Amino acid sequence: MDEKSERNHLLSKNLAPEEGSLAEPEITLDNRTVSPPELFVQEEKEIDSLGRHSQLVFDSISDAVSIIDASTFKIVDANRAFLNQYHLQRNDVIGATCHLITHHQSTPCTPPLDPCPLYETAKKGTSTTVEHVHLEWGGEKVYVEITAFPMFDDSGKVASVVHISRDITERKRAEEERKQLIAELETTQEELKQLFNEVPCYISIQDEESRLTKTNRKFQEDFGEELGCYCYEKYKHRTTRCFPCPVQETFETGQSHSSEEIFTTQKGEQVHVLVRTAPIPNTKGQTRLVMEMSTDITEIRKLQDRLSSLGFMIGSMSHGVKGLLTGIDGGMYFLDTGFQKNDPTRIKNGIDQVKIMINRIRKTILDILYYSKERGMNYAPVDVVSFTNDLIRTVEPKIKDNGIELICQYDNDLGSFEIDAEALRISLINLLENAVEACLEDKSKSHHRISINLSRNKDLVTFLIEDNGIGMDAETKNKMFTLFFSSKGSKGTGLGLYISQEIIKQHGGTIAVETVPGQGSIFRVTLPA
């Protein structure tokens, strides 16, 4: 119902005479009696004042408000804000349809894009709120939130609807921006997460108590996914913090620190790492978290170890090689001068010497070549006796040629053992050649012999190699298997024995020697079957 009719309605309520009565009723107002005309004027004034007040309220609302007829959708009234929004005059608006003014459409709005709130409100009798896109007079889009309230007539039907439209363009824009920022943020976060996890280093973020707050994939693969535990528990298997700790140092100094460490993985493998730390300042600039990045350098260290032991070996060997070369010089000198002087003894000495020296050099070179290659063992079951027969066939000629007696003692059947046949052959041949050398060096006896004894006790196979050569003094015995063994003179390098021992150790076996200087030596090699 509009203002005017309301006003009239109020008027008629107050002043309607009773049916059939022409008498003027008595009316009191403010404790005095007033006449109907007076009352009429008074109430007119009140209604006017009420009306003006309502109009004031209507026009001071900053949202665009229009009153719309529920059946015709025609605008019955509109406030100033409404008129301003569409840059229209009252005349243009009153009587026109809501959808014409706000949507520039001749038909009502339809769902799904713009559901008509008037229709909903009229139907349901309750308020409806929707978001619409309205068009201003110039065609510019305005995002609005419309709330429609029902106005009921006397019969309870929805006669008109109060249509309040709030400009939410700014809000919409802000929402759009926010959505975009969130999307960007999510993308960046995804990228960061991917980066974090794809880096081929162990990365962990730790707090001041050395607890893990975040770890990357590589870290989790090797040390587990648990967070909140202490770093030193995870990869050092310790109960207390290490000292010095580069992470702690970073907390103290705010600078990056590095160190070299050995971590132990979940599987119990040792990993050499180079650790580098970085402080992570918070928004206030304080360092409450530190990032630890560790690069696996196990391979490099292995290579380095290998190189340095190779270098060391070559260094310690070059010494022995020089002796061998001097020995060859000597042999050649005897040969040369032997021919000059026509001295057969000297010639023979020369040739013997040269042969021996060349053999030793040859062996040294082969040992170096063998040692410099990293080789794994290829284990396979091998018959013990066949293996030994093969071995003896290989060394017998050399032993006999040197006038040394060879004695072999073993049963026909000693089962089989799990060995790398080639490597073990080399190992035992080295020992046998050593025995030959010992015999040749020994000038105190006329008859030399080497004996090979083989036995088996349950799962242990034992080789005994005995010679009655020159034997060794205590110092030589202690050093003989080590790379520290600085072999002097023309005896060679001692690498052969080192290699023998390594191979036997890799088979899980042991090697021991008993020796008496001047009498001989016994080498005892035991191998698990």
Beta bridge partners of 290: 206, 279
**DSSP H/E element including 228:** none
Nearest distance in Å: CB 528, other proteins: 38
Contact 274, 260 (CB under 8 A): yes
Where does residue 12 rank: exposed (0-12), middle (13-18), buried (19+ CB within 10 A)?
Answer: exposed
337 is an interface residue for other proteins by CB under 8 A: yes
Nearest distance in Å: CB 210, other proteins: 46
323 is an interface residue for other proteins by CB under 8 A: yes
482 is an interface residue for other proteins by CB under 8 A: no
- For tokens 């062996």, name the residue: 363
Give dist(CA 443, CA 470) in Å, integer: 8
In the set 90, 322, 348, 375, which binds other proteins (CB under 8 A)? 322
Contact 283, 328 (CB under 8 A): no
Q: Residue ranges of the alpha helices (H) in 283-380?
A: 298-341, 344-372
Q: Which stretch binds other proteins (CB under 8 A): 146-154, 330-338, 385-393, 511-519?
A: 330-338
Site map (CB under 8 A) of other proteins, residues 14-53, x = contact: ----------------------------------------
Binding residues with other proteins: total (CB under 8 A): 22
68, two tokens? 């719309």
Q: Which stretch binds other proteins (CB under 8 A): 53-61, 171-179, 211-219, 317-325?
A: 317-325
Residues 6+ apart with CB under 8 A from 352: 331
Instruction: Tell how strand 404-409 and strand 380-383 pair up.
Output: unpaired
* Closer residue to other proteins in complex, CB, 4/488: 488
Beta bridge partners of 416: 383
Nearest distance in Å: CB 193, other proteins: 58
329 is an interface residue for other proteins by CB under 8 A: yes
What number of other Cβ atoms are within 10 A of residue 228's Cβ? 9
* Closer residue to other proteins in complex, CB, 329/390: 329
In the set 491, 519, 522, 524, which binds other proteins (CB under 8 A)? 491
Burial 333-343 (b: 16+ CB within 10 A, else e): ebbeebeeeee
Contact 294, 280 (CB under 8 A): no
In the set 434, 490, 493, 521, which binds other proteins (CB under 8 A)? 490
484, two tokens? 């520290």
Cis-peptide into 115, omega within 30 deg? no
* Closer residue to other proteins in complex, CB, 329/405: 329
Contact 301, 272 (CB under 8 A): yes
488 is an interface residue for other proteins by CB under 8 A: yes
486 is an interface residue for other proteins by CB under 8 A: yes
Burial 290-301 (b: 16+ CB within 10 A, else e): bbbbbebeeeeb
* Closer residue to other proteins in complex, CB, 175/473: 473
326 is an interface residue for other proteins by CB under 8 A: yes
Torsion of CA 414, 417, 422, 427, to 10 degrees: -80
At position 123, the amino acid (one-letter code) is: K
Contact 522, 464 (CB under 8 A): yes
Q: Which stretch binds other proteins (CB under 8 A): 196-204, 296-304, 328-336, 514-522?
A: 328-336
Residues 6+ apart with CB under 8 A from 428: 391, 463, 465, 500, 525
Q: Which stretch binds other proteins (CB under 8 A): 74-82, 174-182, 294-302, 314-322?
A: 314-322
In the set 353, 427, 515, 521, which binds other proteins (CB under 8 A)? 353
* Closer residue to other proteins in complex, CB, 298/476: 476
* Closer residue to other proteins in complex, CB, 302/319: 319
* Closer residue to other proteins in complex, CB, 216/316: 316
393, two tokens? 């066939």
* Closer residue to other proteins in complex, CB, 205/324: 324
Nearest distance in Å: CB 230, other proteins: 47
Q: Which stretch binds other proteins (CB under 8 A): 26-34, 92-100, 103-111, 333-341?
A: 333-341
In the set 25, 95, 489, 528, which binds other proteins (CB under 8 A)? 489
Nearest distance in Å: CB 323, other proteins: 6
474 is an interface residue for other proteins by CB under 8 A: no
- For tokens 């003027």, name the residue: 24
In the set 82, 86, 202, 334, which binds other proteins (CB under 8 A)? 334
161 DSSP 8-state letter: E
How many residues comprise the chain? 529
Give dist(CA 134, CA 142) in Å, integer: 5
Strands (E), 18-124: 27-29, 32-34, 64-69, 75-78
Q: Which stretch binds other proteins (CB under 8 A): 214-222, 270-278, 462-470, 488-496?
A: 488-496
Give the torsion sign (CA, 437, 438, 444, 450).
Answer: negative
Nearest distance in Å: CB 353, other proteins: 6
At position 149, the amino acid (one-letter code) is: F
Nearest distance in Å: CB 518, other proteins: 15
252, two tokens? 């103290």
518 is an interface residue for other proteins by CB under 8 A: no
60 is an interface residue for other proteins by CB under 8 A: no
294 is an interface residue for other proteins by CB under 8 A: no
Q: Which stretch binds other proteins (CB under 8 A): 134-142, 365-373, 412-420, 489-497?
A: 489-497
327 is an interface residue for other proteins by CB under 8 A: yes
Nearest distance in Å: CB 332, other proteins: 10
The residues of the shown chain that bind other proteins, judged by CB under 8 A, are 319-320, 322-323, 325-331, 333-334, 337, 346, 353, 357, 486, 488-491
